[in-house]
Amino acid sequence: MKKIIIALIAASSLGLTSCATTTKDSVSGVKRSQFMLLPSGTVNNMSAQAYSQTISEAQKKSSLNVDKAEVERVRSISNRLIAQVGVFRPDATKWKWEVNVERNDQLNAYCMPGGKIMVYSGMMEKLKATDDELGAVIGHEIAHALREHGRERMSQAYVQQFGLQALAALISNGAASGAIMQGANMGSQLFFALPNGREQEREADKIGLELSARAGFDPDAAVTLWQKMGAMNKGAPPEFLSTHPSSENRMADLKALAPKVRPLYEAAKARK
């Protein structure tokens, strides 16, 4: 944390933007100021390359979009959620969204910076998630992308690893050799290697619940989803839940927010 504070002071002297909130205030009430030094475009490019590599590897293993019905289901649910992202940030409506399903028994899903979504088939085949529950999990992952949590933790890691001078060179020159290029390569790996912090997970829970309600998915499904996922692993939690706040705190937060977003859900259902 001390390194981050020093970086914030140094960033001011270098003229770099270091703090911002990435989403508009809404019913969920998420408006924390975030540590953002790495340029958004750079992070999105890193993520697009990493996602493309993931797609290529899945294709080689014949594990990409194997079940047509599953793919159509996931894309239909995702598109309903994507249609609501402008509430939180209008620019996200112009992202190059992609939605795919990988044959994998893990109970996991993710949305990389810039709107690159992947859902593992285990969510449907192993967990037997309902449409409302899939809406909750995909909405949670989209919320991470809207809040640019990946960019936030990449910024922290980059500064700690290479320092402000390397970051300034990256911003001014677009790309360079040596440590800067190494940092760019590291960035895409960090998305998968570094877990979101607990506060980031709380934000994704809140925004994700509001997003799914606006898309017409029952907000109560978020609670049943986490209950089902927790019950699947009595020992270590599933990968998706490994960095979340405790189950008790998460359930309490979701139950407290549900009545606030329920009118959004009811309005969405009435429009159908």
Question: Residues with Cβ < 8 Å from 203, sequence gap 6 or more?
Answer: 30, 32, 143, 147, 149
> What does the mean pLDDT of the chain come to?
82
Q: How confident is the model at residue 45 (pLDDT cuts 50, 70, 90)?
A: confident
pLDDT in tens, 70-93: 999 999 999 999 999 999 999 999
Tell me if 232 sits within 8 A of 126, measured CB to CB.
yes
3 state SS of 101: strand
Catalytic machinery residues? 141
Mean pLDDT of 228-240: 66
What are the strands, taking DSSP E only, across the chain?
Answer: 19-20, 34-35, 98-102, 109-112, 116-120
Domain ranges (residues) in the chain: 40-155+178-271
- The residue behind tokens 């607990």 is 198
Question: 188-191: which pairs have CB atoms within 8 A and are 24 or more residues apart?
Answer: 188/46, 188/47, 188/49, 188/50, 189/50, 190/150, 190/153, 190/154, 190/157, 191/46, 191/47, 191/50, 191/112, 191/113, 191/150, 191/154
Query: How much of the chain exceeds pLDDT 70, in percent?
Result: 75
Mean pLDDT is lowest, of 15-19, 143-147, 180-184, for 180-184
Residue 235: per-residue pLDDT:
57
pLDDT per position as a tens digit, 7-24: 433 444 334 456 779 999
Which has the closest alpha carbon to 154: 47, 16, 20, 14? 47
Facing residues of 118 across strands? 100, 110
